[in-house]
Structures are given as structure tokens and as C-alpha cells.
Amino acid sequence: MHSGDRFLTILELDQQRQQERQRAEQAEAAVEQECERAKQAQTQLESLRAPLQDGGINPE
């Protein structure tokens, strides 16, 4: 080992773990938001498609 090398303390490891956990939770929340936006977009698309089909227009 070089004199400048050092081991991480248990406290530092716990802090890193907590930061990783927070990042994971934030990423999960972002994914959930994107899923909700996608559901809303799908609903909007379906609401626009119905009048077109009723008018005899194929929106595909």
C-alpha cells in the first residue's frame, strides 16, 4: 500500500450506500412519472382517434 492510500471507514461506506439508495429512489420516482405521462398520452391519443374513426377516417 502507498502511504496516500486509505481505507473507507464504515461511516463513509454507510454514507455512500445511503446516497446510492437515494439516487435509486429518485430514479424509480422518475420512471413512475414517465409511465404516468405515457398513460396520459395514450388516453389523449385514444380520445383523438375515436372522433376520426366516427367520421370514417382511419387514423393509422
pLDDT at 1: 47
Q: Are 47 and 37 in contact (CB under 8 A)?
A: no
pLDDT at 4: 54
pLDDT at 59: 63
How many Cα atoms sit within 13 Å of 12 on the Cβ side?
4
Q: Quick one: which of 41, 17, 20, 54 has its CA closest to 8?
A: 17
* Stretches in the chain below the pLDDT threshold 50: 1
